[in-house]
């Protein structure tokens, strides 16, 4: 009752998924996916997450007083350099 001998299990497929994705190959063409809805859904979700990461993260403004802090840190550093050189 084990079906076709070459069919691999979900666990086996998933244990290789990281390498498969990392290899840049077209994972969606993998034979296991042709009749496994579970792993199809997994792959689609991982793709959705990667796409969302690329699109959803927006840049935010740092607090206004940060520049003041940086400016004084720079000044301090330059004063120390002056001391060293004179």
* Positions that interact with other proteins (CB under 8 A): 10-11, 14-15, 17-19, 21-22, 37-39, 41-42, 44-46, 48-64, 66-67, 69-71, 73-74, 77
CB of 55 to Zn ion, least distance (A): 28
Our CB check for Zn ion shows the closer of 25 and 41 to be 41
Our CB check for Zn ion shows the closer of 29 and 53 to be 29
How far is the C-alpha of 43 from the C-alpha of 22, rounded, in Å? 13
Residue 43, judged by CB atoms within 10 A of its CB (0-12, 13-18, 19+), counts as buried
Backbone angles phi, psi at 74, to 5 degrees: -65, -45
59 binds, among Zn ion, other proteins, none (CB under 5 to 8 A by kind): other proteins
């Amino acid at each position: 009752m084990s079906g076709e001998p070459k069919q691999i299990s979900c666990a086996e497929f998933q244990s290789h998924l990281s390498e498969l994705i990392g290899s840049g190959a077209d994972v969606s063409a993998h034979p296991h996916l042709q009749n496994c809805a579970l792993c199809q859904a997994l792959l689609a979700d991982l793709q959705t997450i990667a796409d969302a990461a690329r699109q959803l993260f927006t840049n935010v403004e740092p607090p206004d007083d940060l520049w003041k802090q940086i400016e004084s840190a720079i000044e301090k550093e330059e004063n120390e350099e002056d001391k060293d050189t004179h």
